[in-house]
Structure 1
Amino acid sequence: MSGNLPVQSVTADYAQRVADDLSANRSEQERVRSELARLQDELVRLEDSEQVLTKMQELLGGTPKQAAKQRKSRKGAAVPAARSSNGKKAAAAAGRKASKKTALPKKAGEPTWLELTTAYLGGQSEPRSAAEVAASLTEAHPERAVQVAVVRNSLEQGVAQGVLERSKQGRSVFYSPTAPASVPSGS
């Protein structure tokens, strides 16, 4: 009977190692899932920023076609090799799917985010934060996916164009329409 004791001990050791490895594997899976979610969120933010920057570029006189030509004409403008790996492609595809769920494309005839934010602020008596503007736009336009980052970028675009003013109160930033310039009288 004493011959069974070492076998049970070895079996128990292996069972414990397998259990430990399984636990470590699950922890690593959770870490990777968390990192993937973070990267997907980052990709969505970058895609949103790209849209805002593209619109700003168009408003400033450049067009996306001109920018594309400039990128093609530069040496070394090819997509970096790291992006072509299957893991990165999967993450990018997942990020695009998430982006499509959260940021619906602008339909023809719909006002831009800049138009929506400036119109909203024009009707307010006090400056508003980006979060307040986003919350109000969510209520007013439930058919559109409102994201605070997109609203904030639109507000900053309005500041850059001189149609909105930014003010700080402590660590908070508030936006309001610029005061209309007084027209000097001709007399």
Structure 2
Amino acid sequence: MSENASATELTSQYTAQVTADLERNTKEQERVGAEIAALQEQLASLQRDHTVLVSIQQAIDAVPAPDTTAQPSGNVPVPAPRKKAARSGPGKQTQPRKKTAAQPARPARPAGKTAGKTAGKTAGKTADNPSAGKTEVAQTAQPTLVDLVRSHLTEQSEPRSAAEVATALGQAHPERAIKTTVVRTTLEGLVAKTQAQRSKQGSSVFYTAADSSPSAATAPTEEQPAPANA
């Protein structure tokens, strides 16, 4: 009985060992198969790349090489050969340069003659081009913004706001960049000098000339005027 029991136990051990070995063998086959499949895919990709590279190399070889022996077109300046500087040695002596006689200095012109010639040239240019003198006189005779604002208020029969005065002066003098803020400052300066009057209607401020009729303007208020509505 003991021999049969030992034989049965040994058989069971061998069976378990063989089963475990079969499982390990199966798993190893699956792992190696997966690696082989990956390597085959990688090999196929390398083969495709190799085919593409070969075709590119063949296309490059088919292009003719440029002729480097051909002369460049156009007139290309050729640099002149540099002259070698003469070496000074013990056997060579440098010849001294010949002294040239100093030229006599020209006599200075009198100041009176120079000023007379300059004035004569200026007068001649003015005589040849009389419009230049007129332009300078016209530029110096332009009225100031204060004169323009005062004159505009004198010509109006009704109060005007700073924006209205600026618009009217801008249309009358398009060559001058007239801004509403500058006109408002000028009007306030005229009010301070009693050369203009300020009236307030709601939130708007209007200005009239100092010599206008009482119905056209009212006495200036003591409170600070609000910004004019453009």
| Fold in common (TM above 0.5) | no
- Higher share of residues assigned helix: 1
Q: Which has the higher contact order (CA 8 A, sep 6+)?
A: 1
